[in-house]
């Protein structure tokens, strides 16, 4: 990807200092690193929008882990950032990747079977339900009536003329949820992100990179705040106060019994 010489650095065939630094935004450079091609303006602004949408969402687990790690090791900000990113998995942040591949699979089956989007979406939901798998990109513990970030991204995709087959697949999926599950699961940002990105030409294999890149920026900001207004140990104390110990307790030296189970 890069050729490093004593007097120059070449990245994907372009001189870093003469052709890239000062010539484009970081988002455009990130997309260039992924694909090796100059990104379209639509892809740049959709990527920007999704990065902003997912970067910050309060004291989520990745942020809590990061702040508490910095409290324990204030000399290792890189460790605190890493701790936060290690908590980004299939439930938190990674759902956008899972939802994206679900949309890709729906479109693939439509093309191979000749069935409608609604039919294939219905079948996919039945398969998820029967196997007791989570439905990625739908439902949210806070945004119970719908995720405003998702609605904004989809509205921008339509406004910018980007919305296409993946957004259509997402809408078909949403339309079949009440039919299969008997109730509505509101769309969340993790479903909207891959839909608009894929329609703009973003590479599917890098979908998880969007929330990781976005959350990294947010974690650095949280850690700067943690240095000035520390809450890491307060978070630990709050956890202690929120959970009541229910394990064994000592009755005499060398003896113990389980609480709530007298003998």
Residue 132 falls within a domain, yes or no? yes
Contact by Cβ (8 Å): 147, 140: yes
Task: Label residue 256 by pLDDT band (50, 70, 90).
Answer: low
- 101 and 199 assigned to the same domain: yes
In a domain, 9, yes or no: yes
Question: Residue 143's pLDDT is what?
Answer: 79
| Domain CATH number, residue 183 | 1.10.230.10
| Count of structural domains within the chain | 2
The model's confidence at residue 263, banded by pLDDT at 50, 70 and 90, is very low
The sign of the dihedral angle between the CA atoms of 156, 159, 162, 165 is: positive
Instruction: Among 189, 206, 223, identify where a domain stops.
Output: 206
Identify whether 109 is part of a domain.
yes
Indicate the average pLDDT of the chain. Answer: 92
Q: Residue 245 has what pLDDT? A: 87
Whether residue 6 is predicted with pLDDT greater than 60 in this model: the reply is yes
pLDDT band at 161 (very low <50, low <70, confident <90, very high): very high
50 located within any domain? no
The pLDDT score that the predictor gives to residue 254 is 62
Residues in Cβ contact with 46 at an 8 Å cutoff, skipping those fewer than 6 apart: 156, 157, 160, 162, 196, 197, 200, 202
Q: What torsion do the CA atoms of 232, 234, 235, 238 make, to the nearest 10 degrees?
A: 170
The pLDDT tens digits for 8-61 are 999 999 999 999 999 999 999 999 999 999 999 999 999 999 999 999 998 999
Helix (H, G, I), strand (E, B) or coil at 145: coil
- Range of the structural domain that residue 35 is part of: 1-39
Residue 138 within a domain: yes
Do 99 and 199 belong to one domain?
yes
Out of 206, 228, 254, pick the residue that ends a domain: 206
Evaluate whether residue 214 is within a structural domain: no
189 assigned to some structural domain: yes
Q: Are 153 and 192 in contact (CB under 8 A)?
A: yes
Answer yes or no: pTM beyond 0.85.
yes
Note whether 215 and 54 are within 8 A (CB).
yes
Digit-coded pLDDT (tens) for 191-210:
999 999 999 999 999 999 99
In terms of Cα–Cα distance, which of 184, 175, 185, 188 is closest to 119? 175
């Amino acid at each position: 990807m890069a050729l490093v010489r004593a007097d120059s650095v070449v990245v994907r065939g372009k001189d870093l200092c003469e052709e890239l630094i000062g010539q484009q935004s970081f988002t455009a450079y990130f997309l260039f690193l992924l694909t090796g091609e100059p990104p379209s303006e639509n892809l740049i602004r959709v990527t920007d929008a999704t990065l902003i949408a997912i970067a910050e969402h309060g004291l989520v687990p990745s942020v809590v882990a990061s702040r508490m790690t910095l409290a324990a090791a204030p000399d290792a900000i890189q460790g605190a950032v890493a701790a936060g990113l290690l908590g980004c998995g299939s439930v938190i942040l990674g759902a956008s990747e899972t939802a994206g591949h679900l949309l890709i699979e729906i479109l693939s089956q439509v093309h191979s079977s000749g069935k409608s989007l609604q039919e294939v979406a219905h079948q996919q939901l039945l398969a998820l339900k029967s196997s007791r798998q989570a439905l990625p990109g739908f439902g949210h513990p806070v945004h119970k009536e719908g995720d405003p970030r998702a609605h904004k991204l989809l509205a921008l995709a339509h406004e910018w003329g980007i919305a296409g087959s993946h957004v259509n697949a997402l809408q078909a999926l949403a339309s079949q949820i009440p039919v299969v599950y008997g109730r509505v699961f509101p769309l969340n940002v993790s479903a909207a992100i891959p839909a608009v990105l894929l329609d703009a030409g973003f590479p599917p294999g890098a979908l998880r990179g969007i929330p990781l890149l976005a959350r990294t920026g947010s974690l650095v900001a949280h850690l700067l705040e943690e240095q000035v207004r520390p809450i890491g140990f307060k978070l630990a104390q709050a956890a202690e106060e929120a959970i009541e110990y229910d394990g064994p307790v000592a009755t005499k030296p060398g003896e113990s019994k389980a609480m709530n189970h007298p003998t």
